[in-house]
Chains A and B, each alone.
Chain A
Amino acid sequence: DAGVTQSPTHLIKTRGQHVTLRCSPISGHKSVSWYQQVLGQGPQFIFQYYEKEERGRGNFPDRFSARQFPNYSSELNVNALLLGDSALYLCASSPGGVRGETQYFGPGTRLLVL
């Protein structure tokens, strides 16, 4: 069975550009969460979506947005990129979007902002 998939695997952008990252959850999972992992640190929560609705948002600026589609896949958008946005962006899925469920992570998209 396929796990969480993310695309692209790597991306290079310049300051001020925008980027769209994509995630497909494990089949049957309805909840997707996005995390940012800066080098040398643990992942930080950005968003959670369940059944196309935003369920939670972390402490990130409005330049970050996301959405979930009817097939439960998700996109993370970042506008007006800054050098500090360079990171590994991780997507995690879980079945029902409830507390105490295991979240399974994808391989991530490594974003480099020059």
Chain B
Amino acid sequence: GESVGLHLPTLSVQEGDNSIINCAYSNSASDYFIWYKQESGKGPQFIIDIRSNMDKRQGQRVTVLLNKTVKHLSLQIAATQPGDSAVYFCAENRSEGSQGNLIFGKGTKLSVKP
């Protein structure tokens, strides 16, 4: 079964460096992927999404890469800032089932050192 996950994977970076957060998804039928940022005491905030017919998408300071062969997703944050400190979740939307059925990963805690 799943582990409880009380200890999130943590990534610690220096302010100004680039960050890369990785995520492995489980279902090859998933066709839509989203990255969310969650600050302490707040709800998840949409960052960027990508569909399975793409392998890269760029936003403002963020890039998402999708490798369907190995079912891997990554979020790259350029010039990381203290305000980027948060827990980052990837979520997948499977091609079967309802639209609301987002499956979230366990999350990665990003800490930015000034």
Binding site for B on A (CB under 8 A): 4, 31, 33, 35, 39-45, 47-48, 50, 55-56, 58, 90, 92, 94, 97-108
The answer to whether B99 and A45 touch across the interface, beta carbons within 8 angstroms, is no
Q: A40-B6, A90-B44, A102-B46 are in contact. Are A58 and B101 (CB under 8 A)?
A: yes
- Inter-chain contact A40/B99, CB cutoff 8 Å: no
B32 contacts A48, CB within 8 Å? no
Q: Is the CB of B102 within 8 A of A45?
A: yes
Once A40-B6, A40-B7 are accepted as A-B contacts, the answer to whether A108 and B102 lie under 8 Å apart by CB is no
Q: Which of B4, B46, B98 contacts A56 (CB 8 A)?
A: B98
Check B43–A48 contact: CB distance below 8 A: no
- Do A94 and B99 have beta carbons less than 8 Å apart? yes
Stretch at the interface among B59-67, B69-77, B78-86, B103-111: B103-111
Interface size class of B (residues with CB under 8 A): 20 to 34
CB pair B99 A43 closer than 8 Å: no
The interface residues of chain A lying within 8 Å CB-to-CB of B91 are 42
Residue of B nearest to A91 (CB): B43
Once the chains bind, are B4 and A40 in contact (CB under 8 Å)? yes
Let me know if A106 and B99 touch, CB within 8 A: no
Q: List 14 A-B contacts (CB under 8 A).
A: A39-B6, A42-B91, A47-B100, A55-B99, A56-B98, A99-B32, A100-B32, A100-B93, A105-B36, A105-B43, A105-B45, A105-B46, A106-B43, A107-B43
- The answer to whether A41 and B5 touch across the interface, beta carbons within 8 angstroms, is yes
Residue of A31, A42, A98 contacting most chain B CB atoms (<10 Å): A42
Is the CB–CB distance between B93 and A42 below 8 Å?
no
By a CB distance below 8 angstroms, the chain B residues around A41 are 4-5, 106-107
